[in-house]
């Protein structure tokens, strides 16, 4: 079975982002049995909490791609020990409107200019994706951290370090298995996802309003 993944560049930078490069490398390196589309968030408007909970067309298009995909890969940079404001805004749009990430398998990767990779940002992203209005199925116990990313790629956009390539291959193989198991686990329990999609912090369980 051919798996369909989308990957999300976790920055709105038009500059040559190494997180974009990482996802582009993943897209061209992993082709056997999978198709991977690289999606941008740089053209999404800033989240503004619409009263009717209707997403802008660009957000709806991203949401539809998430729904149609078997799994999602998010590559996040690290700004001040956290994810970017643009990625947070994109996730706020999704959580407030269509909620396509509920029960969706997600793999988190990240690149940063420093030596430590994006470890704190990845932890921050995990916390956000686990919130009740997103509730993604995040691949556990696996991080792909690409440090010193400015010198990590050659002129063709390939990862230079063979050890990092092998590490990425192992993570991706694990993610494919995680997707299979997760989708098998959730496919007969869509009513639970429907119930989660009706969740809102604006009402208590007894129907009363939250102040």
Q: What is the CATH number of the domain that holds 84?
A: 3.40.50.360
* Residue 207 domain-assigned (yes or no): no
> Could you give the CA distance from residue 144 to residue 121 in angstroms, rounded to a whole number?
12
pLDDT score, position 26: 98
pLDDT score, position 193: 55
* Residue 99 domain-assigned (yes or no): yes
Torsion 200-201-207-210 (CA) sign: negative
* Residue 205 domain-assigned (yes or no): no
pLDDT score, position 198: 61
Name residues of the chain where pLDDT drops below 50.
Answer: 191, 204-211
pLDDT score, position 192: 57
pLDDT score, position 188: 66
What residues make up the domain containing 191? 3-197
Domain count, the chain: 1
* Residue 126 domain-assigned (yes or no): yes
pLDDT score, position 199: 55
* Residue 160 domain-assigned (yes or no): yes
* Residue 210 domain-assigned (yes or no): no
* Residue 203 domain-assigned (yes or no): no
SS (H, E, C) 26-91: HHHHCCCCEEEEEECCCCCCCCCCCCCCCCCHHHHHHHHHHHHCCEEEEECCCECCECCHHHHHHH
* Residue 202 domain-assigned (yes or no): no
pLDDT score, position 207: 44
pLDDT score, position 74: 98
């Amino acid at each position: 079975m051919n798996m369909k993944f989308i990957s999300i560049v976790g920055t709105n930078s038009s500059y040559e982002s190494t997180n974009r490069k990482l996802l582009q490398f993943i897209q061209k390196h992993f082709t056997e049995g999978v198709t991977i589309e690289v999606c941008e968030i740089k053209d999404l408007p800033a989240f503004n909490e619409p009263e009717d909970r209707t997403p802008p067309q660009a957000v709806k298009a991203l949401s539809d791609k998430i729904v149609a995909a078997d799994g999602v890969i998010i590559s996040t940079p690290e700004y001040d020990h956290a994810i970017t404001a643009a990625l947070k805004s994109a996730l706020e749009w999704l959580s407030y409107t269509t909620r396509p990430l509920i029960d969706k398998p997600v793999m988190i990767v990240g690149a940063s200019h420093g030596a430590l990779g994006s470890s704190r940002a990845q932890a921050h992203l995990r916390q956000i994706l686990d919130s009740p209005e997103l509730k993604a199925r995040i691949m556990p116990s696996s991080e792909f951290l690409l440090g010193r990313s400015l010198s990590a790629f050659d002129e063709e956009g390939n990862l230079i370090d063979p050890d990092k390539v092998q590490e990425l291959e192992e993570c991706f193989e694990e993610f494919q298995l995680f997707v299979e198991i997760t989708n098998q686990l959730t496919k007969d329990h869509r009513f639970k996802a429907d119930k989660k999609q009706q969740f809102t912090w604006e009402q208590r369980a007894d129907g009363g309003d939250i102040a």
